[in-house]
Chain A
Amino acid sequence: MLEEIKEKFSKDIASITSLSDLNDLRVKYLGKKGIITSYLKSLSTVTPEERPVLGKVLNETKLYIERAILAKENSIKEFELSNKIKTEYIDITVPGKFVAPGTEHPLNKILNEVVDIFVKMGFNVEEGPEVELDYFNFEALNIPKDHPARDMQDTFYITDEIVLRTHTSPVQIRGMIKRKPPVRFIAPGKVYRCDADISHTPMFHQVEGLMIDENISFSNLKGILISFIHMMFGEGVPVRFRPSFFPFTEPSAEVDMGCILCKGIGCRVCKQSGWLEILGAGMVHPVVLENVGYDTERYNGFAFGMGIERIAMLKYQIDDIRLFFENDIRFLRQF
């Protein structure tokens, strides 16, 4: 008889497809008035001898039904979920809700790279005013009034005594006055010259560097700057030092590196010379050290300076300096 119930149940459960029908089925067999429940209640009416045997079979049947219902429940749930997911398909080829990430300005990107290299070599970072006294911008740097070297830089004037700094070199003076030797710092920043054409903008960026200590030689200047160029532009880039003139350094040097575009063969960018001017440098002029009260017999050192626009133009192969300051988003997004 229990076999019949089992068979009947199997038939019933096979046709069920929803959780509510399954629940009805559960009530039908296992509910308070369900088939199995009523059989269990009728156990009291059978003989004590038959009772254990029947009880065992009944319980097995009950367990069988419970398991089958649980299995069915899981399969219906799974089926329903997979149906639901099928209705939730979206077009994955539609463009995403794109928020463009911000981009660093290429000049600041290069500036930070340069600063980073020198900081790793133990240089501090110094700053100074952009609106500067004539004294710091020129005189303390051994460029007196009426000196032809002033022609090297077209100056914006605020008053007779105040200028927009034409280079970051006045930071050398301010930085040395603030400290006692030895000193070692770089000074990145904006500088201004009264000049505007395809290759000049009235504002541009420089990084100045200064190292003062005992026993610093021209040979050390070469060591630091060659390392810098190699870190910035790659190991093995040829570097050339040639004499030049800056009033605040003596000996002064112009530093060229092999053209990174044509590898020194000669191209438009290097004006067929194979070399690119990249840095100005030199041993700090004793007059400059005297101006800040340093003992020139005990201390000496070197200074250098470079233009960030030029480096950025070379690295990114940008041919018009004005692009940096137009801030066209199509330009900015490339960096």
Chain B
Amino acid sequence: MKVSFHWLKEFIHIPDDIEKIAQILTEIGHEVEAVERYEDDVVLEINITPNRPDCLSVFGIARELSAYYGVPIKFPEYNFTPDVIDLNFNVSIFDPDLCNRYAGRIVKNVKISTSPEWMRQRLEKSGIRSINNVVDVTNYVLLELGHPLHAFDLNSLKGNMIRVGTPKTILGRAGKIKTKTLDGVERQVSDDALLIWDSEEPIAIAGVMGGLNTEVTENTKDIFIESAHFNPISIRRTSKNLGLKTESSYRFERGCDIKLLKKALDRCAFLIKNIAGGQIFGKIDIYPKIFQPTEINLRYEKVNTVLGLNLSKEDIDIYLKNLSFEVESDDERVKVRPPSYRNDIKREIDIIEEIARLYGYDKIPTNMPFASIGIDDQVSRQLSLQNSFRERIRNTLLNYGFNETINFSFMSHQDLDLLKIPQEDPRRKTVNILNPLRVEDSCMRTTLIPSLLKNVIFNVSHGNRDLRFFEISRIFLNENSSKEQVKDRLPVEIVNVGVINYKEKVKTLYKEESHDFYLMKGVVEALLNACKIKDCVFVRTTEPFLHPGQSADIYISNSKIGFLGVLLPTIINDCGIKTQKPSISLFELDLGKLFKYHTVDIRYRPFSKYPYIERDTAIVVDSNLEAITFQNLIKQYPTDLIEEISLFDIYQGANIPPNKKSVAFRIRYRALDRTLKDEEVDTLHSQLVSFILEKTKGQIRM
């Protein structure tokens, strides 16, 4: 909100300069965001928090300064004697819950013209466009006192009456109704929105905007000025539903001063008569339920314990009086009645804040709390284990040369289309956003792959090469059986790790090391190793976006924890990556499951002090025999002398029959309790080899 320094000084004597005032206002909670300097004035741009509608005016700010300095404040001039007492006009409130008070005055024979220069300037400095003298006065009083007013053209108002009510109450039926507002827009108003009516039709949307049919124009002679108090929630709903926010709705939805509205009305009539002439008529004031201030008990001691201060009873009483709170105190406590404009003061703590504000937050001493140590509980303990587990995964990937990324949690079904993910896949059951910023961000991620793929595309398009990325983030799965989202059932949030590796053909000094699949599998194995997970199975995957021959699903104890593989070249092409022989390999793992299976109980196992003996053998087997079958066979063999099995060559080609391959392996033998003899190992090894040959129908490679 913009406040002219000159205007401010009309209400209060200010002993300090503008810089000091800006600092004081900020210190008491009204942050001055900018100071605009004009030739003859300075305007403060103040950020008023939503709890303080009473400060949305020049007078309101003056009132705050008055509380700070403890000096009196002067109300602007508003007294006059009505020219005509007799009134032939009726106001009735049909929805007293939505309109607590409605006052008005008639001014006849006004001369509509432009406003005086000084008024136009003040309005413009505050960001309000000048329209004509009558409308300008209503806006001027709004800025000055913070109370929204509206002027109707009395002669276009039918039936000499005003009715305040919703379409439902006034018309007695439900359904939307149409009305044209001052800005020329025809608006659909819901049947529970509060409207102002004449004897026939709506003439304003209460507290939001006046109607075009009763607008004050250059032809207007007589006016009716409205000064009312509307229910904040109702105004807010109407304003939100219409998407129409005005200076008036902004103040009404935060709460206006029910007592001030009469003075604001008179101030407005007073100024109109001064500026536009005319005769002021008697007043209408429908005020069914008189405002009763809240009564709050404040304990002096509580002030000091909450703030960490040592204020005396007298100090506190002074602050309260400066704030114009009515007080009745005894030794221990004080009964406080806040003024009608402070609808934010509801309980003891609110008053304590007021005292802290005026005392100055910066003057409150700084002390570390005395708190018990070891408030660690099981809930926290569990969480901290999970966090350190994730950190271990993260560090392993960092050590392997992957760069950590963070992406928005959003995606769209198009991303899943690109990956050819079928409609019945659980990843299609997305959590959808009702009001996304872009269609590309219309639902929550169910997989991290699309984001990582976009990271690669982005980087490649910027000429970056050799990319290794990972992200550890949540995915969101809608586990409802039906497609509809249940109103208040939250989705399942799972922490996943997604890893991607992009390579293209580059001329390099050094030879390419290994197949992308094995490279990424090595990373997966490193992660499993970091979690001390041993029993993990890789089986060919059905993921539709992966190369069927170079990909795997990863299982632990029959539960799928993720997938791994090389992205289909057609998808790389669909991504628009047009570099030389690009290849993308990736994996995604469910860290929740990994955490579940990771080993916490580490037990020491003794290892042998005796020497080992190694034997190498190469055998020729069917080319489709998988390494895992081979390794499992060796593991099955009944001996406890095998310490390690390693495959060191898999070969197909010259000297090997078609559909066959040569597998070379090395077995390391060692006993826990003695030195093995060569002959013993020779026998064992040849028995083992025969066993393998028998099971695989293989032959020794000569």
Q: Which residues of A contact B (CB under 8 A)?
A: 94-95, 97, 99-105, 107-108, 122, 124-127, 129-133, 146-149, 151-152, 156-162, 164, 178-179, 182-185, 190, 192, 194, 196, 201-203, 211, 213, 215-220, 222-224, 226-227, 240-245, 247, 250-254, 271, 283, 285-286, 300, 324-330, 332-333
A220/B308 in contact, CB under 8 A: yes
Is B307 engaged at the interface, CB distance under 8 Å to the other chain?
yes
Are B305's CB and A251's CB within 8 A? no
B380 near A124 with CB under 8 A, answer yes
Give the B interface residue count (CB, 8 A): 95
User: Among B233, B369, B408, which residue has its beta carbon within 8 angstroms of that of A202?
Assistant: B408
Q: Is B439 an interface residue (CB 8 A)?
A: no
Q: A162-B487, A213-B371 are in contact. Are A149 and B349 (CB under 8 A)?
A: no
A residues within 8 A CB of B700? none
- Give chain A nearest CB distance to B473 CB in angstroms: 8
B50 touches A129 (CB 8 A): no
Q: CB-defined interface of B343-360 with A at 8 Å, one 1/0 digit per residue?
A: 000010110110011000
CB pair A152 B350 closer than 8 Å? no
The answer to whether A146 and B441 touch across the interface, beta carbons within 8 angstroms, is no
In the complex, A159→B478 CA distance in Å?
13
Known contacts: A133-B488, A286-B349. The answer to whether A159 contacts B493 by CB under 8 A is: no
Do residues B404 and A244 form an inter-chain contact, with CB atoms below 8 A? no
State which of B25-33, B99-107, B677-685 sits at the interface with chain A: B25-33
The answer to whether A94 and B380 touch across the interface, beta carbons within 8 angstroms, is no
Q: Which of B307, B403, B437, B485 contacts A103 (CB 8 A)?
A: B403
- Indicate if the CB atoms of B401 and A102 lie closer than 8 Å: yes
Report chain B residues within 8 Å CB of A122. Answer: 371, 373, 375
| Residues of B close to A105: CB separation below 8 A | 403-406
B475 to chain A, nearest CB (A): 10
Residues on B with C-beta less than 8 A from A185 are 380
Q: How far is the CB of A131 from chain B (nearest CB, A)?
A: 5
Mask of B56-96 contacts with A, CB within 8 angstroms, 1/0: 00000000000000000000000000000000000000000
Given contacts A158-B432, A243-B28, contact A250 B350 (CB under 8 A): yes
Q: A147-B50, A157-B434 are in contact. List 6 more A-B contacts (CB 8 A).
A: A131-B444, A159-B486, A211-B369, A227-B368, A250-B353, A329-B467
Residues in A whose Cβ lies below 8 Å from that of B464 = 328-330
B366 at the interface (CB under 8 A from A): yes
By a CB distance below 8 angstroms, the chain A residues around B437 are: 194, 196, 202
Contact across chains for A124 and B487 when beta carbons are under 8 A apart = no
Chain B residues with CB under 8 Å of chain A are 26-29, 31, 33-34, 49-52, 232-233, 236-237, 253-254, 305-309, 347, 349-350, 352-353, 356-357, 361-362, 364-373, 375-377, 379-380, 383-384, 387, 394, 397-410, 431-437, 441, 444, 455, 458-459, 462, 464, 466-470, 473-474, 476, 485-488, 490-491, 493, 509-510
28 A/B residue pairs, CB under 8 Å, sorted by A: A97-B509, A101-B398, A103-B398, A122-B375, A131-B444, A148-B236, A162-B488, A182-B371, A185-B380, A194-B435, A201-B408, A213-B372, A219-B307, A219-B365, A223-B369, A224-B368, A240-B362, A242-B31, A243-B361, A250-B352, A251-B353, A283-B306, A327-B458, A329-B464, A329-B467, A330-B464, A332-B403, A333-B403
Query: In the complex, which residue of chain B has the Cβ closest to the Cβ of A156?
Result: B433
Chain B residues with CB under 8 Å of A162's CB are 485, 487-488, 490
Give bound CA distance, A149 to B233, whole Å: 12
Query: Nearest Cβ in chain A — how far from B337, in angstroms?
Result: 19
Cα A324 to Cα B408 with chains together (Å): 10
Given the known interface contacts A104-B404, A178-B379, A286-B347, the answer about A129 and B490 at a Cβ–Cβ threshold of 8 Å is yes
**A164 near B398 (CB under 8 angstroms)?**
no
**Residues on B with beta carbons closer than 8 Å to the beta carbon of A325:** 406-408
Q: Which residue of A lies closest to B353 (CB)?
A: A251
Complex CA distance for A158 and B436, rounded to whole angstroms: 10
Residue of A nearest to B356 (CB): A251
| B404 and A129 contacting across the interface, CB-CB below 8 Å | no
Contact of B493 among A131, A218, A219 (CB under 8 A): A131
Q: Which residues of B contact A158 (CB under 8 A)?
A: 431-434, 485
Interface secondary structure of A, over-half rule? mixed
Q: List the A residue with the shortest CB-CB distance to B466.
A: A100
Q: By the criterion CB–CB under 8 Å, are A211 and B380 in contact? A: no
B306→A217 contact, CB < 8 A: yes
Contact A202 B349 (CB under 8 A): no
B406 near A107: Cβ-Cβ < 8 Å = yes
- Please tell me if the beta carbons of B474 and A130 are within 8 angstroms of each other in the complex: yes
Assess the B383–A127 pair: CB atoms within 8 A: yes
A218:B404 contact, CB within 8 angstroms:
no
Chain A residues with Cβ under 8 A from B466's Cβ?
100
Contact between A102 and B399 (Cβ–Cβ < 8 Å)? Answer: yes
Q: In whole angstroms, how far apart are the Cα atoms of A29 and B31 in the complex?
A: 106
Task: Check A222–B364 contact: CB distance below 8 A.
Answer: yes
Report the Cα distance A7→B362, complex, angstroms. Answer: 103
Q: State whether A219 touches B308 (Cβ < 8 A).
A: yes
A203-B409 in contact (CB<8A): yes
Q: Which of these, B26, B349, B455, B473, contacts A250 with CB under 8 Å?
A: B349
A101 CA to B309 CA in the complex, in Å? 53
A329 with B237: in contact, given A130-B493, A226-B366 (CB under 8 Å)? Answer: no
Q: Are A243 and B29 in contact (CB under 8 A)?
A: yes
* A251 contacts B357, C-beta separation under 8 Å: yes
Cβ-defined contact, B383 with A159, below 8 A: no
Bound Cα distance from A34 to B308, whole angstroms: 106
Give chain B nearest CB distance to A183 CB in angstroms. 7
B372 contacts A182, CB within 8 Å?
A: yes
Known contacts A156-B435, A215-B370, A326 near B408 by CB under 8 Å: no
Closest Cβ neighbor of B377 among chain A residues: A179
How distant is the Cα of A128 from the Cα of B508 in the complex, in angstroms?
A: 48
Contact of B369 among A159, A190, A213 (CB under 8 A): A213
* Contact residues in A for B233 (Cβ distance below 8 Å): 146
In the complex, chain A residues whose CB is within 8 Å of the CB of B379: 126, 178-179
CB distance from B406 to the nearest CB of A (A): 5
The answer on a CB contact under 8 Å between B458 and A283 is: no
CB distance from A198 to the nearest CB of B (A): 15
Q: Which of A102, A107, A218, A227 contacts B356 (CB 8 A)?
A: A218
Check B487–A160 contact: CB distance below 8 A. yes
B282 to chain A, nearest CB (A): 36
Cross-chain contact of A328 among B400, B432, B434, B462 (Cβ < 8 A): B462
From the candidates A99, A220, A227, name the one contacting B401 in the complex (CB within 8 A): A99
B458 x A328 contact (CB < 8 A):
yes
Chain A residues closer than 8 Å to B356, beta-carbon distance: 218, 243, 251
CB-contact partner of A217 in B307, B380, B474, under 8 A: B307
Interface pair B364/A218, CB less than 8 Å apart: yes
Q: Give complex CA distance A220, B369 in Å.
A: 5
B353 touches A243 (CB 8 A): yes
Distance (Å) between the CB of A305 and the closest chain B CB? 16
Distance to closest chain A CB from B415 (angstroms):
16
Measured CA separation A219–B681 after assembly (Å): 76
